[in-house]
């Protein structure tokens, strides 16, 4: 594994410990994790990291994306471990001020998170016009309030699919080829 990548990641998170003050607004990153292939799942994890980093570095949020890291310690393909990860994510969401729905598609896990956020009156920002109506339908059909859901097209990075992010200039530094290969080999 690329040691510079690991050191950079460690330094990034150490800096976040100092930046995540109690007065910062917190945001939960809602984006796909599961994929038909292991490589697809790893790309989705890396995309979650990119959304997370952008929210922290460029927007000043205390951002959270458990699915960017939990699959390194819990196997999403083992039902009992998936339940633990999903429950942990909902606990993190419970303690977040708002939700950002990122990417260009909704997964089953994302729908569950959106329902959870809607039922708790969380503000939900959607960045991709093609999934906005789907999110609105999920919110309304589960007792949420339509005025809590906003379409925000001013941050195009959040509307990109994981595959688009993987080749973007912003996320390129986060999508380390050696790390992707290592994840796939370890879990393959």
Query: Cα separation of 136 and 142, whole Å?
Result: 10
Give the angle 73-101-7 at the CA atoms, nearest 5°.
40
Instruction: Give the pLDDT score at 186.
Output: 45
Only one residue has tokens 């303690």, namely 95
Query: Cα separation of 41 and 97, whole Å?
Result: 27
What is the H or E stretch that residue 13 is in? Answer: helix 3-19
pLDDT band, very low/low/confident/very high, at 95 (cuts 50, 70, 90): very high
pLDDT band, very low/low/confident/very high, at 37 (cuts 50, 70, 90): confident
User: Is domain 26-187 in CATH 3.40.50, yes or no?
Assistant: yes
Query: Cα separation of 48 and 31, whole Å?
Result: 6
Across residues 77-88, what is the average pLDDT?
Answer: 90
**pLDDT higher than threshold 70 for residue 171:** no
**pLDDT higher than threshold 60 for residue 4:** no
Range among 83-87, 115-119, 182-186 with highest mean pLDDT value: 115-119
Query: Cα separation of 79 and 165, whole Å?
Result: 29
Lowest pLDDT segment from 46-55, 77-86, 176-185: 176-185
Query: Cα separation of 146 and 148, whole Å?
Result: 5
Instruction: Give the pLDDT score at 101.
Output: 98
pLDDT band, very low/low/confident/very high, at 167 (cuts 50, 70, 90): confident
Instruction: Give the pLDDT score at 96.
Output: 95
Query: Cα separation of 51 and 164, whole Å?
Result: 12
Domain residue extents for the chain: 26-187
Instruction: Give the pLDDT score at 12.
Output: 60
**pLDDT higher than threshold 60 for residue 169:** yes
Instruction: Give the pLDDT score at 16.
Output: 56
Query: Cα separation of 28 and 20, whole Å?
Result: 14
Distances (CA, A) of 109 to 114, 134, 188: 9, 14, 23
Q: SS3 for 124?
A: strand
């Amino acid at each position: 594994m690329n040691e510079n990548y690991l050191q950079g990641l460690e330094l990034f998170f150490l800096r976040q410990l100092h930046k995540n003050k109690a007065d910062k607004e917190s945001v939960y990153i809602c984006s796909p994790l599961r994929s038909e292939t292991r490589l697809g799942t790893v790309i989705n994890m890396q995309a979650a990291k990119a959304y997370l980093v952008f929210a922290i570095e460029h927007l000043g949020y205390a951002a959270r994306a458990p699915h960017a890291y939990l699959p390194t310690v819990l196997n999403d393909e083992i039902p009992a471990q998936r339940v633990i990860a999903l429950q942990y994510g909902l606990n993190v969401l419970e303690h977040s001020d708002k939700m950002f729905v990122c990417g260009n598609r909704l997964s089953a896990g994302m729908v569950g998170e959106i329902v959870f956020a809607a039922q708790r009156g969380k503000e939900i920002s959607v960045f991709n016009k093609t999934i906005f109506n789907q999110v609105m339908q999920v919110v309304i059909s589960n007792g949420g309030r339509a005025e809590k859901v906003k379409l925000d097209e001013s941050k195009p990075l959040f509307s990109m699919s994981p595959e688009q992010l993987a080749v973007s200039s912003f996320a390129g530094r986060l999508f380390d080829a050696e790390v992707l290969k290592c994840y796939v080999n370890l879990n393959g």
